[in-house]
Amino acid sequence: MPVIALQGVRGGLGTTSVTAALAWALQQLDEPVLAIDLSPDNLLRLHFNTPFELDRGWARAELDGTGWQQGAMRYCKKLDFLPFGRLNAAERLKIRHSESGTAQRWQDFLAQLRASGHYRWILLDIPAGDDPQIEQLLTLADQVFLLLSPDANCHARLHQQPLPTGCHLLINHYSSASPLQQDLHQLWLQTLAGLLPLVIHRDEALAEAMAVKQPLGEYRPESLAADEVLTLANWCLLNLQDAEV
Ligand SMILES: Nc1ncnc2c1ncn2[C@@H]1O[C@H](COP(=O)(O)OP(=O)(O)O)[C@@H](O)[C@H]1O
Ligand SMILES: [Mg+2]
């Protein structure tokens, strides 16, 4: 049961959308998957048709002192998701400060999931950043997919911010019409270890999928980006099964 964390080198790169899309692609390949929102943005749920008003989620339950371990919601037969939950600013601060106990609960929860054999894959939607709490969340994962867009901002960040050890780099928002993007992509192919052998193109289908509250592959299975995310799911099956412990 590989645990894959997805994180952007900065916010807004498509981490949450790609987490939802990859979860959909894995279940399409008959692989049971749980997608977990570890980002206080609490947006992953909106890719799975959750009513905006619903405040339910693991961090909400953690603050209310109720158990969240059974709180995953079913989207379809082989795809469950666990929302972060709606918190106000003061509550978000509180959950950050209680993180050390929470981290242990996450370790235990993932161990239970492994033992249950219920899921073949766990996906973690992790917020951008490298503060100690986020680093702790990253240690829950066997693999990290770090999202990048081929732009100068991401290129600079690759050289000035620490990257998760051994991470796989995943290009999203690729536009082959842009000479700068083509150049950066070529440079990265030659210089970056860990670059995944596929890109996800900038595709209106991805933007629209969130607007209709569906994962990409359900909304537009014939789109280029859906095909690329399906390729990513197949890459996971071929390359990450050994991460099983
Ligand atoms: N490949 C893409 N093509 C077009 N729009 C995209 C693509 N990937 C993400 N988006 C859009 O970009 C915005 C930010 O995506 P999101 O997944 O919320 O990013 P993050 O979680 O990294 O902050 C959303 O409106 C989403 O629909
Ligand atoms: Mg996000």
CATH topology for 3-243 is Rossmann fold (3.40.50)
- Distance between Cα 117 and ligand 2 center (Å): 28
Pairing of strands 79-82, 33-37: parallel
> Is the CB–ligand 1 distance for residue 14 below 6 Å?
yes
Kindly indicate the confidence band of residue 73, based on its pLDDT and cuts at 50, 70 and 90: very high
Amino acid at 6: L
pLDDT reading at 206 higher than 70: yes
- Give me the sign of the Cα torsion angle 142, 147, 150, 155: negative
> Is the CB–ligand 1 distance for residue 47 below 6 Å?
no
Report pLDDT for 100: 62
- Distance between Cα 15 and ligand 1 center (Å): 7
Question: Looking at ligand 1, which atom is closest to the CA of residue 207?
Answer: 27
The residue assigned the tokens 């860990």 is: 194
pLDDT digits (tens, 9 = 90+) for 22-66: 999 999 999 999 999 999 999 999 999 999 999 999 999 999 988
Instruction: Find residue 181's DSSP bridge partners.
Output: none
Pairing of strands 33-37, 121-125: parallel
Report pLDDT for 223: 98
Q: Cα angle at 115 between 25 and 104, to 5 degrees?
A: 95
Report how far apart, in Å, the C-alpha atoms of 96 and of each of 99, 216, 238 are. Answer: 5, 31, 36
pLDDT digits (tens, 9 = 90+) for 85-96: 999 999 998 888
pLDDT reading at 207 higher than 50: yes
User: Within 13 Å and on the Cβ side, how many CA atoms surround 61?
Assistant: 16
pLDDT reading at 244 higher than 80: no
Of the candidate ranges 12-16, 105-109, 178-182, 198-202, the one whose mean pLDDT is the lowest? 105-109
Give the mean pLDDT of 198-227.
98
- Give me the sign of the Cα torsion angle 144, 18, 157, 85: negative
Instruction: Give the separation between CA 34 and CA 222, rounded to whole angstroms.
Output: 24
> Is the CB–ligand 1 distance for residue 150 below 6 Å?
no
> Is the CB–ligand 1 distance for residue 212 below 6 Å?
no
- Distance between Cα 178 and ligand 2 center (Å): 25
Instruction: Give the separation between CA 29 and CA 177, rounded to whole angstroms.
Output: 32
